[in-house]
Structure 1
C-alpha cells in the first residue's frame, strides 16, 4: 500500500515526509526518461516515445478526456470519475480517514466496511475535497522576473505577493468551486499555475471490509503475488445533487498481459535528481532519524491499541498507515546504502559540473551551484534535529489545529499579498474545509500522541536545549499533554469555527488551555519557519533554478530535452507502461496476474490471512479464474494510490494501490526490469460487487455510466 496522506489528525507520519522543515531537495532538477520511466505533466507528454514503442498516439481529445475524468483527493490520494453522476473510484486505504471519521461506538466501518443502498444513505466524508484539473498555465518567466536579484525574505515576499495576485485572479469570484495552486516544477526550473474544479461535498458509497482490502496485512505489503480488493467508491455532490462530469468507462473485463496501460494520478514526492551530497544527507541523517521516530510511534500505537477495544478502534487506522510507512521508508535504504548508486550519482554531478565550467559564458551564467548546495546542506545539518522536533510536535493532532487557528488569525490580519504560503485568500477554503470539519476527537489518543512527541523532543535535543524548555516549561510531557488535551474544547468543530471566524480577537480572548499554549509557542514556531525558509528553502529553490536551466541546456545539446520530466509534486501526472511480470532476484518468473482461486488458497483462517465472513460465504458463487491483482511497468510513487489504470481506449481497467518491494527505490530511480505498479483488476471489483456484496445498484451504474 502506497500513500502520501495529507490529513493532519492522524496521518502524522506523512506530514513528516512532506514537511517543508524537512525538505532537503535541490535537486538536480529533473530526470531523463528511459523506457516506461517518467511521471509526465499533462502539458508535456512523451507522445513520440509512446508511438514509437506501442504504435499508439494519444490525440488531444484523448488527453482532454483523461484529464477531465481524473481527480485528486485532498488527503493525499488519486482518484477518477467512473460515471456521469459523480461516482469516484479510489482505494479503500484512501477512504480510511472517512470510514474512521463516520464510525461510532456501534459501527466500525473501517473494519466491517460500508454500503449505501441508495443516494440517501451515502455519508459525507468530513473535510474531504476532490479536485479535478482544469487548466495549466506556465508562469515561469513572470516568477523569474519578480524574484530576480532578490534573496531571503525579500525573495519570499515578492514570490508570495505574486502568488496571492495570480491565484486570486485564477479563482475569480467563486472560491468554493475553484482552486488554484502555484506548482514549482524541476525544483525551480519551471513554475506553473494549476487550476482545479473543487468539489467539497464528498460522500462514501461503498467500501469492503479491511480484511479483504488489506488481505495479507503487513507481511504481504509491497510483495507480489497479491490478493487485495483495495477499492472504494465515493460520490461528489454539489448543491445537494450528484455532479455531472466526464468519466472513464469502467471495463468489467480488465486488461490482458502485454496491454499498453496508463496511470493518471498525483505522485507525491520523489528525489530522483538529488545530488550525491543530498543523498548522503538522507542516508546518514534524515532517513535514520525518521525511522527511529516511527519505530517509537509504532510501539506506542501497539501499546495503546492493546489497552482496550475502544483504544484499538481509535488507533487502528493510524497504526495501519504507520506500518506501511515504516516498511516503505526502510525499503528506500536499499538505494541509499547502495554504494554503486551513490557513485553513479557522483559521476552525474561531475558531468554536469564539468559541462557548466566548459566555457566562460557558462561559468558566468551558472556560477558554482554545487558549492552553494554544500553550504545549504551544512545549515541543514546544524538545524535538522530542531526542524524535525518542530515537525513531529506541531504537524498533527489537536496541537496542529490549535496552531492553525492561531496562525490563521495572525495571517488574515495582513493584506493578502503579505501573508505566508497557505494563508492567501485563494488557499483559505482548503484550510477551512479541513480545520472546521466535524471529526471524532479521542482525548486519550490525542494525549498519548502529544506526550510521546514532547518526550521525544526532550530526548533528542536534551532537557536544557531551548526548544524542549520552550515546549515543556516546568512540566513533564505526560502531565502537560494531559492538561492541554483534557482541558481543551477544540474537539468540537463548533468551537473551532467560532475561534476561526472570530479572528484575532477571539484568539486573544480565548481561555482554552491548548489555544493559550499555541499562542505561547507561536512566535518561536513562526520565527523558526521563517528562518528555515530563508536559510534553506529559498536558497534551494534559487540554486535549483540555476541547475535546472543548466540541465535543460545540456539536454538540448544532446538532443534529449524532449525526454525530461520533473520530480513528483502531488500534482496531476501521466505514466505509461504495459501489463507485464518480472524475474525476481532469485531468478523466479513472477506472472502478472493473480486470481480468485489462489486468493482462497492463500487464506489460512488466521489474521492477516483471514477472509471476512462475506467472502467465506460467497466462495461457491465466485468464478475461480477471475483475476484479482495485476502488475504493470507504470512508474508510480506514493500519492498514486487510487490512480486508475487505463487502456488505450480510455477505459478504466484497474486501480493502482501499491508497488512491489523492488519499486521502493522509486523515490530515487526507476528500474524498468523490476519496478512494478500493483493494481486491483476491474474484473475483480465487478465480481465482488456482484457476487459478494449484492451491489446491483452500483454495478448497473458502472455498466451504464450513469445512475
Structure 2
C-alpha cells in the first residue's frame, strides 16, 4: 500500500470550485452542473449526455487499451484516438520493411485493417452509488486491513450481481479516499484493428522538445475500428467478425469555433489527488520526483544511443522510450511548477484552519488526523526516493524477466509428467512473449546504468545489490563487467539459451542462476514491508480517510467532485487563449495554423521533419473544406478544461455535442494541474478536427474514411 500511495500524482487542498474546474460524474450532471453548463453554451439535455435506457453521448466514448480515451465517430465502429495512444500497437504492427510508425498507414478497405495481438476498447454501460451498502459492512474499530477485507467481500457480491453471467465487466471503486463507493458496468470488445495513422513526423511532430509546450503543431491522432460478431456482441478476433454498429456515434463538426465558445470533454482521466497534504507535496518535490527524473533520464540516454543506430531496435523500444520520456518531462515540470506556486505553503495554511476546526470538542474525531499524516511523511521521505530509483530500474525488462519466468519454471519442475505436458505450451508461449523484441546489449547497458545510480543514490538498497556494488562501483564499467559475466552464466541471457535449458531442465541450475538471484533480490526488496511500516500505513490510511471526510464536513456548502481514477468523467469550460506569444503566428493565441507548422520545419530532424507533400499542400493553400472561414488551416487549439493523464484521445465537443477536436496534452505552465487547479493558466491542448480530416483526405487520400463520418458543416 505504501508504494501505491507514494506513486499517486500529488494534489493540493480542495478550494472553492472554479467554473471550469472539476471532473464530474455523468450521473450527477443534472443536479450539480447542468444550469452552469447551459449558461456557458450547452444545448443538450442531461439525458442526451448520460442515459441508461436510451442512446446518449456516453455510448460513443470508450476507454482505449486501458490507458487512454477514444470516441466512436461512425456507424461502422470507427474509433478516433491519439497517435501516442495507438503508438505501441502501431509499432508492434511495423517492421523495418513495413514501417507504419515512421511512414504511416491507411487501409483502403476493411480487409486491409490490421489486428494487433492485443487491443480492446471498453464501453461504459451504467453506474450507481453503493456507498451505504458497502460502508454498512465496516466500523471504526476495524483495522485498515480488516476494513479492506470486509469491503472487498461486499464488492465481490456487487460484481457478481451485475455481471449478467460474465456479459459485463463490473468495477467497484472508492471515492473521496474510501468515504463513498460506486459501481461501474462495462462491456469490452477485444477485436480492434488499425485503420490508419499519419507518419510519426505528423503524429509526433515536435517530439520531446514540444511535449507539454505551447504553441503546438502536432497531428496527434490515429484511427482504429471495433469489430463484433454478426449480432453485435463482443467476440475474439475472427475473419467472420463485422464492424460494430454502435449505439451512438459522434457527429463531426466542420463549422469551427471562436474564443469563449463552450467546450466539454468526456474521457477517462487516470489519477489526481487534490486532497494530499503539504507533507506529501514536499515529499514528492524533494525526494520522490527528483529520483524519478534522474532515473528516467539515465534510461533514455542509453536507449537512444542504441535506437539511433538500428531501426529494428528503434521500433521495438519506441513505445517504452516514449512512455519514459513523457513522464520524465512531466515530473520535472511538476517539481518546477509546485515550487513556483508554493503549493505546500498554501496547503499548510489550509491545514492549520482544519486543525483549528478539528480541535473543537464536537469535532474531536479529527483532532489527531494532521499530526499522524505529517508524521507519516517525515518517516517515509527516504523510502519514497528509494522506491522511485528502484521502480525505474525494474522497468528494465531484463531486471524482471528472470523473476517472472523463474517462478513459472520452478512450478513446472515440481509437477509430475502429466502436469508438465499440460503446462509446457503455456510456458513456451510465456517465454516467447517476454523475449519478443528484447535487445540484450541495450538491456544490459540500461541495467548497468540503473544499478550504478540506484546503488550510489538510494538508501537501504537491496542486499545483493549492495554486496555487488562494493566492487562494481570502484570502476566506471564495473556494473557492465558484472552483468556481462552474469549474462554469460545465465540461462536467461536469451530466448534460445532458455529454450535449450528447457530441453533438459535442472532445478539446481535454475536456483543458482546469477540473473535469477539478482532479479529475486530486487523484487523481494521492492515488496518488503516491515511490521513497523505496516502500522504506519494503517494509521496513515485511517487518518487520510478521516481528513477528507472532515474537510468535506468543514465546508458542507461546496460542490465536490471525486478525484480521477480512470472512470468516465465530464469536464466543461471554453475555448480560451494564453497570453500573447510571439512564437505563434496566429491572430489570437488560442489556436495554431499550418503556417506555423511549416515554419518549424527542419529537414532531416527527428522531431521537426515533415512530409514534403504536406508542405506542397500548404504552398498551394489546398485546404479544401477544412480551412477556417478566415482562410487558414487550423492545427491545434486551447481550452480551459480540467483533464489529466488518461484523457489522451478524449473528444472535445461543442455545445451541441459535436466533435471539434481531440485532447492530447497540457501546457507546462500549469504542470501542477493534478495538484492545484490554476484558473488562469490551466489549458488543454487539442488537435483541431479539421486538421485531422484534412490530413486523412488531402494528404493520405483516404476519402473513403471521410465518407463514413456524419459531418456538420
TM-score bracket for the superposition, by shorter chain length: 0.7 to 0.9
> How many angstroms apart in 2 are the aligned matches of 1:586 and 1:616?
22
Determine if contact 2:102/2:199 at 8 Å carries over to the other structure.
yes
Cα shift readout 1:386-422 (whole Å, capped 9, x = no counterpart): 43344224356355466566789999xxxxxxxxxxx
Once the two structures are TM-superposed, the CA of residue 546 in structure 1 deviates from its matched residue by: 0.9
Q: What's the secondary structure of 1:582's corresponding residue?
A: coil
TM-score where L is the length of structure 2: 0.81
> How many angstroms apart in 2 are the aligned matches of 1:409 and 1:180?
33
Question: Relative contact order (C-alpha < 8 Å, sep 6+): which is higher?
Answer: 1
Relative to structure 1, is the Cα distance of residues 586 and 661 closer, same or farther in structure 2, using a 3 angstrom cutoff? farther
Q: What's the secondary structure of 2:50's corresponding residue?
A: helix
Q: Of 75, 81, 84, which aligns to 1:84?
A: 75
Q: Of 269, 274, 277, which aligns to 2:276?
A: 274
What's the counterpart of residue 453 of structure 2? 456
> How many angstroms apart in 1 are the aligned matches of 2:519 and 2:250?
48
Q: Of 621, 627, 630, which aligns to 2:634?
A: 627
Q: What's the secondary structure of 1:338's corresponding residue?
A: helix
Once the two structures are TM-superposed, the CA of residue 553 in structure 1 deviates from its matched residue by: 1.5
Cα shift readout 1:175-210 (whole Å, capped 9, x = no counterpart): xx5333332322222222222211222211111011
Q: Of 581, 588, 591, which aligns to 2:589?
A: 591
What's the counterpart of residue 419 of structure 1? none
Q: What's the secondary structure of 2:252's corresponding residue?
A: coil
Which has the higher Rg, Structure 1 or Structure 2? 2
What's the counterpart of residue 207 of structure 1? 197
Q: Of 113, 124, 130, which aligns to 1:133?
A: 124
Q: Of 178, 181, 187, which aligns to 1:188?
A: 178
Once the two structures are TM-superposed, the CA of residue 513 in structure 1 deviates from its matched residue by: 6.0
What's the counterpart of residue 27 of structure 2? 43
Does residue 615 (structure 1) correspond to residue 614 (structure 2)? The answer is yes
What's the counterpart of residue 97 of structure 2? 106
Cα shift readout 1:322-372 (whole Å, capped 9, x = no counterpart): 3332222222123321364332221211122222223x2211x32411011
Structure 2, unaligned stretches of length 5 or more? Answer: 229-234, 412-428, 473-477, 625-630
Relative to structure 1, is the Cα distance of residues 21 and 274 closer, same or farther in structure 2, using a 3 angstrom cutoff? closer
Does residue 171 (structure 1) correspond to residue 135 (structure 2)? The answer is no
Determine if contact 1:48/1:57 at 8 Å carries over to the other structure.
no
Q: Of 680, 691, 703, which aligns to 2:710?
A: 703
Cα shift readout 1:212-270 (whole Å, capped 9, x = no counterpart): 11222233222222221111011122333222222212223443332211111122222
Does residue 554 (structure 1) correspond to residue 546 (structure 2)? The answer is no
What's the counterpart of residue 391 of structure 1? 391
Cα shift readout 1:525-554 (whole Å, capped 9, x = no counterpart): 585268698456554442232122212222
Determine if contact 2:295/2:393 at 8 Å carries over to the other structure.
no
> How many angstroms apart in 2 are the aligned matches of 1:186 and 1:534?
22
Q: Of 561, 568, 579, which aligns to 1:565?
A: 561
> How many angstroms apart in 2 are the aligned matches of 1:471 and 1:143?
49
Cα shift readout 1:573-619 (whole Å, capped 9, x = no counterpart): 11101112122599999522222233323324352322123423443
Q: Of 265, 268, 271, which aligns to 2:267?
A: 265
Deviates more, 1:343-352 or 1:249-258: 249-258
Determine if contact 1:26/1:187 at 8 Å carries over to the other structure.
no
Q: What's the secondary structure of 2:681's corresponding residue?
A: coil
Determine if contact 1:614/1:693 at 8 Å carries over to the other structure.
no
What's the counterpart of residue 425 of structure 1? none
Determine if contact 2:287/2:382 at 8 Å carries over to the other structure.
no
Does residue 120 (structure 1) correspond to residue 111 (structure 2)? The answer is yes
What's the counterpart of residue 380 of structure 2? 380
Does residue 158 (structure 1) correspond to residue 150 (structure 2)? The answer is yes
Does residue 442 (structure 1) correspond to residue 426 (structure 2)? The answer is no
> How many angstroms apart in 1 are the aligned matches of 2:266 and 2:437?
32
What's the counterpart of residue 674 of structure 1? 681
What's the counterpart of residue 695 of structure 2? 688
Q: Aligned ranges for residues 40-79 of structure 1 at < 5 Å?
A: 40-45=24-29, 46-54=33-41, 56=43, 58-64=45-51, 65-79=56-70
Relative to structure 1, is the Cα distance of residues 630 and 259 closer, same or farther in structure 2, using a 3 angstrom cutoff? same
Q: Of 251, 254, 265, which aligns to 2:253?
A: 251
Determine if contact 1:93/1:230 at 8 Å carries over to the other structure.
yes
Deviates more, 1:127-136 or 1:596-605: 596-605
Determine if contact 2:250/2:710 at 8 Å carries over to the other structure.
no
> How many angstroms apart in 2 are the aligned matches of 1:409 and 1:195?
37
> How many angstroms apart in 2 are the aligned matches of 1:409 and 1:197?
35
Q: Aligned ranges for residues 421-436 of structure 1 at < 5 Å?
A: none
Cα shift readout 1:121-141 (whole Å, capped 9, x = no counterpart): 211223322112222232333
Once the two structures are TM-superposed, the CA of residue 25 in structure 1 deviates from its matched residue by: 7.4
Deviates more, 1:51-60 or 1:338-347: 51-60
Q: What's the secondary structure of 1:564's corresponding residue?
A: coil
Once the two structures are TM-superposed, the CA of residue 433 in structure 1 deviates from its matched residue by: 12
Question: What is the RMSD computed on CA atoms of the aligned residues?
Answer: 3.9
Determine if contact 1:406/1:519 at 8 Å carries over to the other structure.
no
Deviates more, 1:165-174 or 1:532-541: 532-541
Once the two structures are TM-superposed, the CA of residue 55 in structure 1 deviates from its matched residue by: 6.4
Determine if contact 2:57/2:657 at 8 Å carries over to the other structure.
yes
TM-score where L is the length of structure 1: 0.81
Determine if contact 1:29/1:186 at 8 Å carries over to the other structure.
no
Relative to structure 1, is the Cα distance of residues 319 and 440 closer, same or farther in structure 2, using a 3 angstrom cutoff? closer
Structure 1, unaligned stretches of length 5 or more? Answer: 1-17, 412-431, 499-504
